[in-house]
């Protein structure tokens, strides 16, 4: 467990950050009065999500690998982090759906039918529900986590000839 303690810690931080993001979306009206902007503005979540991965991988480099982490070590760490986040994501979606914003699905269903994105309420309901979002969340967490890790590690890894500062 000690080997993945940093990944577990950052998966919890990521989950808390995700829940706080949903509270912010709700407070900004993106789950009701400003729902038309939700599909655009929710994508801004990528900024804190990527930043969390950067901090997690830097933490792993500094505190587990003593300042020297190659690309493969970071990739493995990021994949472990991603797997933990992916496993937690159905619970995160449950909290969002039933605690933070239980009105989101009814609102988005109604509005998507009004705008003609879906022909009927039944078709919209088939897309906007906990089960579908939990599955999409898991797939999204897995794919985006691995892609983010692969890119972030280009910058976080210890490059050849890079000096490691001694911690006193």
Please give the structure tokens belonging to residue 114. 């009004």
CB atoms within 10 A of CB 150: 14
Q: Is the predicted pLDDT of residue 89 greater than 70, yes or no?
A: yes
Give the mean model confidence (pLDDT) for residues 76-82: 98
Secondary structure letter of residue 96 according to DSSP:
I
Question: How far from each other are the two terminal CA atoms of the chain, in whole angstroms?
Answer: 27
- Residues 76 and 94: their CA atoms lie apart, in Å, by 28
- Residues 104 and 86: their CA atoms lie apart, in Å, by 22
Long-range Cβ pairs for the range 123-128 (8 Å, 24+): none
Please give the structure tokens belonging to residue 107. 């609102």
Pick the residue with more confidence: 88 or 160? 88
Q: Can you give the pLDDT at residue 79?
A: 98
Q: pTM value?
A: 0.92
């Amino acid at each position: 467990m000690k080997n993945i303690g940093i990944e577990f810690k950052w998966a919890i931080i990521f989950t808390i950050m995700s829940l706080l993001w949903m509270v912010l979306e709700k407070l900004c009206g993106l789950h009701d009065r400003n729902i038309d902007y939700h599909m655009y503005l929710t994508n801004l979540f990528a900024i804190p999500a990527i930043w969390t991965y950067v901090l997690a991988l830097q933490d792993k480099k500094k505190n587990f690998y003593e300042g020297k982490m190659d690309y493969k070590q970071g990739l493995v760490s990021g994949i472990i982090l991603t797997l933990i986040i992916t496993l937690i994501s159905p619970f995160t979606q449950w909290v969002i759906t039933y605690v933070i914003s239980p009105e989101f699905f009814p609102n988005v269903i109604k509005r998507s039918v009004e705008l003609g994105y879906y022909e009927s309420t039944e078709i919209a309901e088939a897309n906007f529900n906990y089960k579908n979002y939990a599955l999409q969340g898991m797939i999204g967490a897995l794919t985006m986590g691995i892609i983010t890790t692969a890119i972030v590690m280009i910058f976080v890894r210890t490059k050849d000839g890079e000096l490691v500062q001694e911690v006193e």
